[in-house]
Amino acid sequence: AQRVTQPEKLLSVFKGAPVELKCNYSYSGSPELFWYVQYSRQRLQLLLRHISRESIKGFTADLNKGETSFHLKKPFAQEEDSAMYYCALVSNYQLIWGAGTKLIIKP
């Protein structure tokens, strides 16, 4: 069955430290994956998708088919990165969502 796993409910790092938000997926076929972010009191918004291979707000995510992972990384965390992050997988024209990771950047 298709599934998205975000093993960390909460991740707390200091400002300036590297950040890695983990996402593992289960999918038969070629996956299409997204990262969404929800800042406090804002709507859920798309951060990046794997096929674009862009860096958005300093974040990157690489699809690793061997490890079935799509981890989100940023080399130097900023306080404004504090938010809820969701990994999502396309399946049958819908998105399957991970449980989310709350990222807290400590000053």
Partner 1 sequence: SAVISQKPSRDICQRGTSLTIQCQVDSQVTMMFWYRQQPGQSLTLIATANQGSEATYESGFVIDKFPISRPNLTFSTLTVSNMSPEDSSIYLCSVDLQGSYEQYFGPGTRLTVT
User: Between residues 96 and 105, which has the closer beta carbon with respect to partner 1?
Assistant: 96
Rounded least distance, CB 15 to partner 1, Å: 23
Degrees, nearest 5: CA angle 26-32-38: 95
The tokens 């399946």 sit on which residue?
91
Q: How far is CA 12 from CA 34, 44, 55, 79, in A?
A: 22, 21, 22, 11
Rule CB under 8 A: say whether 31 interacts with partner 1: no
Rule CB under 8 A: say whether 13 interacts with partner 1: no
Rounded least distance, CB 75 to partner 1, Å: 26
Q: How far is CA 70 from CA 58, 63, 82, in A?
A: 16, 5, 20
User: Between residues 19 and 101, which has the closer beta carbon with respect to partner 1?
Assistant: 101
Q: Which residue ranges make up the site for partner 1 (CB under 8 A)?
A: 32, 34, 43-46, 49, 84, 86, 90, 93-95, 97-100, 102
